[in-house]
Structure 1
Amino acid sequence: MHRGWTGLMAAAPLLLSACLFGGGDRPEPRRTAAKSTPARAPARPTAETRQCLAELDRYSIDYRTLPQQDFGNGCVVVGAVQLLDIGIPVSGLRSMRCPLARNFSNWVRYAVAPAARQVMGSDLVRIESYGTFNCRPIAGSKRLSEHGRANAVDVATFVLSDGRRVSVLDGWDGNSREQRFLRVVFRSACKRFTTALGPEYNSAHANHFHLDMGGRPMCR
């Protein structure tokens, strides 16, 4: 069972790496008191968040709710959860806005896991990610990244029960099975997330899928 919203007194640290840009420099979120005062957790989640949490419960997803936090520079995280158990272990998951967490869980359960069995002939046992929250702008722009809202996740590697590791970096142009598997799960991601970016988008995404629920629809 998930841990209740009002019962949670402190959020887990939200300092995880995200998209790798500029030689892999991954800045950590910093609170700047002069620019922004940390926001208090709302008395209760919004109607949209409550509906999303109810869906997580219906899907039997184990999670805990996190309080609203303001890290300054526009990096405000609201309606977030930390996924504890979605059936497949995923490394690097910390704060995620509820809709992202819901869609990610369903993508793993109903797209990635079946594709691993059908295409690779082995069960999916683990996913490795580069994380979720990171207070920074989009590379090459002044616009805040969806990572700064805990509204994006970067997926790097899929680990199978037979020991094989299918990474985006090596598998996108790897053997025929790896190529097919990664393209199947990426196309599925395009249907579940607002934005899905991969190796064909640019070199910064050569080693991961960037998946988010903000901005304009894009599948590249």
Structure 2
Amino acid sequence: MAVVAALTLAACSGDRGRRSSARKPTPAAQLMPGITSAPIRQCLGRLAEQGVDFQPLPDRDFGGGCLAYGSVKLLDVGTPTTNLGAMTCPLASAFSGWVRFGVVPASRAWLGSEVVKVETFGTYNCRTINGIGATGRLSEHARSNAVDVAAFILADGRRISVKTDYRSADPGVRGFIKAVHQSACKRFATVLSPDYNAAHNDHFHLDMGRGPFCR
């Protein structure tokens, strides 16, 4: 398969549809020209072994500690996902595994329908943790090392959102939300939910920074 043309950091994955059985990800060796970091090469190799379609992105330093080093653009993890920009390779690997082996099976088990789209608020964002002002500790988003997940679209048309369904009275929805949250805590260094604070009332924050921390 031809290597996909370079994409901007803010580009979205869009509704690409389910992966075709005839489609194969680009071999990792074709995606590594110029990448000299051994850890990054190893991570890209593992990502390719997961059957994920991705594009390595050039290292970018935006100033003020905001950067995107060792990052990739996820093109296809098997389930369409919106608003994915630059993600560090370890984050991309954890996210891909979570969607494929945590989210999708949980939707089948608890909701009787498969997740066919994951909606996110994005990845890279040059900002502090509280998102207010120019002072304070930088968020992992500023290092392309975090993703905020907002909702899940099911094959039967339902939309399960963190904002409206995190404390749902429906036992199936509540079980699904709990299952994907617990699965995330096993894969990411930090997982923040509406239980953490009001700033996370409408999404799961997932990052590969300091941890482990699950709330």
**TM-score range normalised by the length of the shorter chain:** 0.7 to 0.9
- The share of aligned pairs that are identical, in percent, is 49
What CA deviation, in whole Å up to 9, does each residue of 1:5-60 have, x standing for no partner? xxx7x5513389xxxxxxxxxxxxxxxxxxxxxxxxx9424111101100111111
Amino acid at match of 1:191: K
2:158 to 154, 164, 177: 164
1:199 to 191, 194, 197: 194
1:13 to 9, 22, 28: 9
TM-score (norm 2): 0.84
Return the alpha-carbon distance in structure 2 between the equivalents of residues 93 and 74 of structure 1: 21
Aligned CA distance change for structure 1 residues 82 and 45 (closer, same or farther; 3 Å): farther
Amino acid at match of 1:188: S
> What displacement does 1:215 show?
1.6
- 3-state SS of the aligned residue for 2:63? coil
What CA deviation, in whole Å up to 9, does each residue of 1:114-140 have, x standing for no partner? 000000000110000000000011106
- 3-state SS of the aligned residue for 1:196? strand
Task: Determine whether 1:77 maps to 2:60.
Answer: no
Q: How many residues align?
A: 191
What are the ranges of 5 or more consecutive residues in structure 1 without an aligned counterpart?
17-41
- What does residue 182 of structure 2 align with? 187
> What displacement does 1:2 show?
7.8
What CA deviation, in whole Å up to 9, does each residue of 1:53-75 have, x standing for no partner? 00111111000010000111101
* 8 Å Cα contact 1:15/1:133 also seen in 2: no
Root-mean-square deviation (CA, aligned residues, Å) is 1.9
* 8 Å Cα contact 2:11/2:84 also seen in 1: no
1:212 to 207, 211, 215: 207
Aligned CA distance change for structure 1 residues 130 and 2 (closer, same or farther; 3 Å): farther
Aligned CA distance change for structure 1 residues 151 and 45 (closer, same or farther; 3 Å): farther
- What does residue 102 of structure 2 align with? 111
2:58 to 63, 67, 72: 67
What are the ranges of 5 or more consecutive residues in structure 2 without an aligned counterpart?
13-32
* 8 Å Cα contact 1:157/1:168 also seen in 2: yes
> Comparing both chains, which one has the higher relative contact order based on Cα–Cα distances under 8 Å and sequence gaps of 6 or more?
1
Return the alpha-carbon distance in structure 1 between the equivalents of residues 44 and 2 of structure 2: 10
Return the alpha-carbon distance in structure 1 between the equivalents of residues 2 and 42 of structure 2: 15
Task: Determine whether 1:95 maps to 2:86.
Answer: yes
1:44 to 35, 40, 45: 35
Amino acid at match of 1:200: D
What CA deviation, in whole Å up to 9, does each residue of 1:145-186 have, x standing for no partner? 000000000000000000000000111111221111001100
